[in-house]
Amino acid sequence: MRLRRVRSSSWSRRLVAEHRLGVEDLIWPLFVMEGENRRVPVASMPGVERLSIDNIVIAAEQAAELGIPAVALFPNTEAKLRSEDAREAFNPENLVCRATRAIKAAGLNVGVILDVALDPYTNHGHDGLIRNGEIVNDDTIEALVRQSMVQAEAGADILAPSDMMDGRIGAIRSALEDGGHFNTLVMAYAAKYASAFYGPFRDAVGSAVTLASSAEKRDKRSYQMDPANTDEALREVALDLAEGADLIMVKPGMPYLDIVRRVSETFRVPTFAYQVSGEYAMLQAAAQAGWLDSDAVMMESLLAFKRAGASGILTYFAPRAAAALKNEA
Ligand code: PBG
């Protein structure tokens, strides 16, 4: 037997390929900022910019043209609007709500995903509320429910709780049902690890500064998962599904492909993976140094998610990967 036979030409390689990346697999995370006609580069994420709402709409149009099914919006909230109680999260006029309405007003066939978590709105940068130095679970859930309702009312198609409080999926689902938002999807960041790969994201949304100044520092280990654990990820996913999650996410991505594989095989539900900011940053840094072929590692890394069983991938490479796929075709 010679396994090299089918590898000898590109048509036969294509014929036997077991996995394929398509534009429909991509979700594009975008950073929203205040102002008009503004684009501010994120230093630790070469090629990524924070965009004012007018430019967010342009990005969403670009997504629609490329065939990217959905965008995920993250706000860089002004410092003066960050507080102990994260009240800006429930302001129907906050950045992500206005951006969502602007995208919907443009009539684009693109899903809008909003993160449910308090970190862009707290003055300490944590995803939950703090009482006596502790991130409190149940009071945080009340805040997350209020945030979810405001986001659903703004027209978000998918709410993505990324906070890792226990029981928040059920509480949010019930509130959505009671509020008549039957069709609002919930994508649970079910297995989200306490990872050092989120660093550049925290620069982008401005929570790196707030976290560094908080007494609890950058440590999210009391709510995000321990990178040492696998079985626990399955319990997290099982709970979120039982509470009503429609879609499941594993995060980070590349260092956690084993989790993507186990979750997708165990539950057979739509499972998404987030190729996070630090993964993007390291690939881009090596490419900029001339040490890696940027396009090649981008496509190879995204295909790896498909091989692991992901239904789709949140990636800052989304527009570039979509353009590359278009050229291939
Ligand atoms: C916040 C949130 C984070 C990311 C998505 N939502 C950061 C964190 O948990 O500190 C990270 C995304 C990335 O690194 O690209 N709840």
In order along the chain (329 residues), what is the average pLDDT of each group of 10 residues? 97 97 98 98 96 98 98 97 97 98 97 98 95 94 98 98 97 98 98 96 85 71 96 98 98 98 98 98 98 98 98 98 94
- pLDDT at residue number 110: 97
Q: Which domains does the chain have, with CATH numbers?
A: 20-328 (3.20.20.70)
Q: Is the CB of 147 under 6 A from ligand 1?
A: no
Looking at residue 266, what is its pLDDT? Answer: 98
Predicted local confidence at residue 217, as pLDDT:
63
d(CA 327, CA 329): 5
The CA–CA distances, whole Å, from 159 to 44, 94, 106, 248, 310 equal 27, 16, 20, 12, 19
Q: Name beta bridge partners: 114.
A: 73, 159
326 among known catalytic residues: no
**pLDDT at residue 216 in the model:** 59
Q: Is 192 a catalytic residue?
A: yes
**Which residues neighbour 186 within 8 Å (Cβ) at sequence distance 6 or greater?**
158, 159, 160, 161, 169, 172, 173, 176, 244, 245, 246, 247
Q: Is 195 in the pocket of ligand 1 (CB under 6 A)?
A: no
Separation of CA 252 and ligand 1 centre (Å) = 9
Q: What is the pLDDT of residue 215?
A: 61
Question: How far, in Å, from the CA of 328 to the mean position of ligand 1?
Answer: 32
Q: Which residues are annotated as a binding site for Mg(2+)?
A: 236
The rounded Cα 248 to chain-centroid distance in angstroms is: 11
Give the distance from CA 177 to its chain's centroid: 24
Question: Residue 251: beta bridge partners?
Answer: 192
- Residue 232's CB is within 10 A of a number of other CB atoms, namely 13
Q: What are the Cα distances from residue 241, in Å, to 89, 94, 190, 234?
A: 25, 29, 9, 11
Q: Which of 54, 65, 50 is nearest to 108 (CA)?
A: 65
Sign of CA dihedral 312, 313, 318, 323: negative
Choose, from 80, 220, 251, 306, the residue flagged as catalytic.
Answer: 251
For ligand 1, the distance from its centroid to the CA atom of residue 201, given in whole angstroms, is 6
CB of 127 within 6 A of ligand 1: the answer is yes
Name every residue whose Cβ is closer than 8 Å to that of residue 214 and which is 6 or more positions away in sequence.
124, 125, 126, 130
Q: What DSSP state is assigned to residue 124?
A: T
Report the distance separating Cα 41 and Cα 60, nearest Å. Answer: 18
Helix crossing, 95-105 with 137-154: angle to 10°? 30
What pTM did the predictor assign?
0.97
| Rounded distance between C-alpha atoms, residue 302 and residue 196, angstroms | 20
The predicted pLDDT at position 210 comes to 77
